[in-house]
Amino acid sequence: MNKETNWVDVAWSGIVTKVKKTSQEMTVPFPSMTENGEYCNTHQPWAWVVGFWPGILWLLYEKESYEPFKEMAIDRENIMDGPLDEYVNIHHDVGFMWQLTSVKQFELLATPQSRTRALRAASHLASRFNINGRFLTAWNKNDVSVADPRGLSIIDSMMNLPILYWAAEQLDAPRFKLIAMAHADTVLKEFIREDGSVRHMVEFDYLTGEVKSYHGGQGDNKNSAWSRGASWAIHGCALSYQYTQEPRYLEASMKTADFFISQLPKDFVPHWDFRAPIDENTPRDTSAAACAASGLLLLADLLDDVDKKAHYAGVANKVLESLYRQYATFNDDTQQGILTGGAFNCPKNLGINCSLIYGDYYFVEAISKMKNRCSGADNPLNMI
């Protein structure tokens, strides 16, 4: 067994042990971030984060067949029927919420109720399409601090598109795919800058569809480069290519990846915004690192060019090994999360240098992919 294979296996067994322990100790059903090492829920029951904990449990159940993970994931998905039935508070992040839970449960166990839930979530997302601006509307009135969310769309939505592509396949209903592609095309035009950096929020005139303004959002300012936004773009564009085989999405994933990689510090863990003033105290964001690394592994799988495959998979490997060696909590029983060093919202000074449930999720997803590569379950060409 070579050195790389070994650290991946050690990381995986550290994750399994940590999640077993945390699932017994945690006092909230849907963790979002840690405070003093303990997972708490700082969000509403309909918040975008609720699918990540059950999502982690499914990823682990898939490889470990440990029944308590399955039972807890099913229980959490059942609770999520509350916001789905209530309807009025749900938003564009239904992909994060029901792709990682209901679509996954349907894939693993063929549960009809989970399929129905995910189809309802996809129908909701499709209904948020602004026909004149050709974008998915992010939020609802009163959701966010911006004055008027009716014309607001955000880069994060690229990660919500897979539930539309999935629904199109399930129902043999191309309209879902057409909406996803129309939104993705708007993102390529209005969100991804010439240099491969990415805007967080674009505000359109909700009647004419014209671009009105840009907002810094969770980035430093409207001209900056929020690193988690970059990771949503890399990963989300690769997912759009996976479902559509349209080369422009593969190109966009590479373009945003090349920018992201060019901005990484020596240890491969990004600062929270690549264009914020950076010194030794500037927060990193391990969630951006983990989401980007998982996206880079997908990108590597989707490419034909052997050198490019090796390049993107090689960077993913370096990012993940750095996370494992510097930020994993496996030797620290006071931490319920898997990775420290996440940055939720620096402009609002919220959730800095803590564990974030989505950072944990994408780390588990990426390490699971690395395990497949190491065991040869993937295409051997993808081995690095």
Binding residues (CB under 6 A) for ligand GLY: these are 48, 156, 218, 228
Closest CB 336 distance from ligand GLY, rounded Å: 20
Nearest to 235 by CA among 106, 141, 366, 135: 366
Residue 164 vs 291, nearer CB to ligand GLY: 291
Q: State the catalytic residue, choosing from 156, 285, 301, 360.
A: 156
Closest CB 48 distance from ligand GLY, rounded Å: 5
**Which residues fall within 8 angstroms of residue 35, CB to CB, at 6 or more apart?**
354
Q: Is 164 left (phi over 0), alpha (psi -120 to 50) or beta?
A: alpha
Residue 273 vs 301, nearer CB to ligand GLY: 273
Residue 20 vs 43, nearer CB to ligand GLY: 43
Locus of tokens 């975008």: 48
Closest CB 272 distance from ligand GLY, rounded Å: 11
Residue 48 vs 259, nearer CB to ligand GLY: 48
Residue 48 vs 249, nearer CB to ligand GLY: 48
Active site residue 285: no
With 0-12 / 13-18 / 19 or more C-beta atoms within 10 angstroms meaning exposed / middle / buried, residue 211 is middle
Q: In this structure, what token pair is assigned to residue 83?
A: 């916001």
Report, in this order, helix, strand and coil percent for the chain, each rounded to 5: 60, 10, 30
Q: What angle do CA 39, 45, 51 make, to 5 degrees?
A: 65
The rounded distance, in Å, linking the Cα atoms of 237 and 305 is 18
Residue 99 vs 114, nearer CB to ligand GLY: 99
Question: Is residue 196 a contact partner of residue 155, using CB atoms and an 8 Å limit?
Answer: no
Rg (CA), the chain: 19
Q: How far is CA 325 from the centre of its chain?
A: 22
With 0-12 / 13-18 / 19 or more C-beta atoms within 10 angstroms meaning exposed / middle / buried, residue 287 is buried
Active site residue 279: no
Question: Is residue 105 a contact partner of residue 117, using CB atoms and an 8 Å limit?
Answer: no
Q: State the catalytic residue, choosing from 81, 93, 148, 333.
A: 93
Q: What angle do CA 342, 374, 228 make, to 5 degrees?
A: 20
Residue 111 vs 353, nearer CB to ligand GLY: 353
Closest CB 343 distance from ligand GLY, rounded Å: 9
Closest CB 316 distance from ligand GLY, rounded Å: 20
Closest CB 218 distance from ligand GLY, rounded Å: 6
Closest CB 78 distance from ligand GLY, rounded Å: 24
Q: Return the active site residues.
A: 93, 156
